[in-house]
Amino acid sequence: MSSFDLFLNYMSRSGFFTFVILAWLSLYFVITFGILFSRYLYLTHWLSVEKNSLESMLMGAKNVRDDSILRKCSNASHTSEKLLNVCKNVAEKNATSGLWMLSIIASTAPFIGLFGTVVSILETFSGLGQSGSASLGVIAPAISEALVATAAGIFVAIPAYSANLFLRRKAYEVIVYVQREVDILLSGNDARKDL
Give DSSP secondary structure letters for the chain.
--HHHHHHHHHHH--HHHHHHHHHHHHHHHHHHHHHHHHHHHHHHHHHHHHHHHHHHHTT-SS--TTSGGGGG--SS---HHHHHHHHHHHHHHHTTTHHHHHHHHHHHHHHHHHHHHHHHHHHHHHHHHH----HHHHHHHHHHHTHHHHHHHHHHHHHHHHHHHHHHHHHHHHHHHHHHHHHHHHHHHHHHH-
What 133-138 contacts at long range (C-beta under 8 Å, 24+ apart), as own/partner pairs, is none
Query: Is the per-residue pLDDT at 6 higher than 90?
Result: no
Q: Do 142 and 124 contact (CB within 8 A), yes or no?
A: yes
* Parent domain of 106: 3-194
**Segment 74-92 mean pLDDT:** 81
pLDDT above 90 covers a percentage of the chain that reads 49
pLDDT at 11 over 90: no
Q: Average pLDDT in the 124-138 region? A: 71
Look at residue 95 and tell me whether its pLDDT is greater than 90: yes
pLDDT at residue 173, as a whole number: 96
Q: Residue 60: CB partners within 8 Å, gap ≥ 6? A: none
pTM, entire model = 0.82
Give Cα separations from 135 to 59, 118, 131 (angstroms): 78, 20, 11
Q: How many domains does the chain have?
A: 1
**Phi and psi at residue 148, in whole multiples of 5°?**
-60, -40
Nearest to 28 by CA among 149, 125, 129: 149
The pLDDT value given to residue 194: 44
What span, in angstroms and rounded, lies between the C-alpha atoms of 145 and 164? 30
Collapsing DSSP to helix, strand or coil, 81 comes out as helix
What integer is the mean pLDDT of 39-64? 92
What pLDDT is recorded for position 192? 46
